[in-house]
Structures are given as structure tokens and as C-alpha cells.
Amino acid sequence: MTGDFAVVGTGTGVGKTVVTAGLVGWLREEGVDATAVKPCQTGYPPDDDAAYVAEACGTDDAATCLRRLEPALAPAVAAEQVDAELPYDEIRAGCAHILEGSEVGVVEGIGGLRVPLAGGREVLDLVADLAIPVVIVARSGLGTLNHTALTVAALDRRSVPVSGVVLNEYEGATTAERTNPAVIERMTGESVATLPPLATGKPTAVVDGVRNHVPRSLVPAFE
């Protein structure tokens, strides 16, 4: 085991939570004490990514959330809207505490890398400050080349290692989908896996789906 990593996205709604749930559940099924941490959940309620991961893994110990805010906005913006304190140092320290206390800690990002997090810092700053590698989750269809390449470039500039890219909800129904995996590999030099649409309404099924379609080589904890 090499340890902790983050699951980051090229934007909002790309499937970070599904991939996080699948990877944490997979690790736990193999006897690894893996724990997901969501630095800040916005849009709560009803959104609760940590609860989804816990349900997929069958135990509350599988995930935790450091802060929850009601507005469905970037964390820093949501905190401003409700006049809440959201210190960046507390978020970073909270994530570090979870990582240190778990055999493998998995930080789930919020939106894309440039999302304002707290204290003038972004999600990218948190990942870089924690000094952990990342798995990138991206959409499969038209438009993902630009978003994925920009995400990889942003991580490269901060010397954050990329373990691989997961193209979520891949069906191969269009020419763009069918060609995107190879093109992304050529553009970024990163390995790409494709994850078909999963029955996300049944969180426990997500673990099987991720295990069956994401190569172990893309998961930093298995390296």
C-alpha cells in the first residue's frame, strides 16, 4: 500500500462520488481500512456525498464530512451567503487528521479544481498541500478533451501526481466517446479507464461496477 489519494473532477456532476464510493468500498472489501473524507458538502440537504459513500460501503466508518453548508454553491461562496466561518487551515488540518488515522484516506474533491474552497484557496490548493496523488473523474462525451487536459495541466503545474483518468458513464454511443480515451491518453500522457453507467440508485452496486471496470493500476493505494 502506498496510501492516500484524492478523487478530483473536471467539473461538477461528473461522478466523483460514485468513483469515490466504488474505490473505498473496493479497498475495504480487500481488508484495507479506507476512509473517504469530504472537506465540505454544499447543497446540504439533500446532497450528502459522505453518506452515499458510507451506504455503498455498508458502514458509517467508511466516510466523513468536515463541514456542511446549505447553499448549493462553491464552499467559499456558500459560506459567504450564510455568513459562516470556513477557515482553510481547519479544512486542511481536518483532512490531514483523517488521512493520518486511516490505512488509506481518500479525499473527495468539490466540483472542479479551481472551485473556491476557503480563505482564498481552491480545491487544487488543498490537494497540493496534502501532497497526495489524484484520480481524475471526467465526462465521457463531447467537450471532455478540453476539460480533462486543462485539469491535468493544472495538477502538473503544482507537481501533483496523476494516477489516471476515469471517463464516467461511458457507453461508446458516439464517435466522440469512442475516440476520447485514446485522444486523452495522447494529449496528457495519462492512463484512461472507462466506467459504464452504473445503477447509482443502489450504492452497494457501485462498488462492483468500479471494481470490474477500473484497473488496479489506476488506484494509488494498489501500487
* pLDDT tens sequence across 93-145: 999 999 999 999 999 999 999 999 999 999 999 999 999 999 999 999 999 99
Provide the pLDDT for residue 1: 43
Number of H helices, E strands in the chain: 8, 9
pLDDT at 223: 79
Q: Which residues are annotated as a binding site?
A: 13-18, 42, 49, 108-111, 168-169, 215-217
Specify whether 38 is catalytic.
yes
85 Cβ neighbours under 8 A, 6+ residues apart: 79
Options 3.40.50.300, 3.20.20.80, 3.30.300.30, 3.40.50.720; CATH for 5-222 is 3.40.50.300
C-alpha cell at 194: 472507462
| pTM as predicted | 0.97
Q: What is the pLDDT of residue 2?
A: 54
**CA–CA separation, 26 vs 207, rounded Å?**
6
**Contact partners, residue 15, CB within 8 Å, separation at least 6:** 9, 137, 166, 168, 169, 195
| Residues 5, 133: Cα–Cα separation, whole Å | 5
Q: Point out the annotated binding site for Mg(2+).
A: 17, 49, 108
Annotated active-site residue in 38, 67, 92, 139: 38
Low-confidence ranges of the chain (pLDDT < 70): 1-2
Rounded CA separation 202/44 (Å)? 20
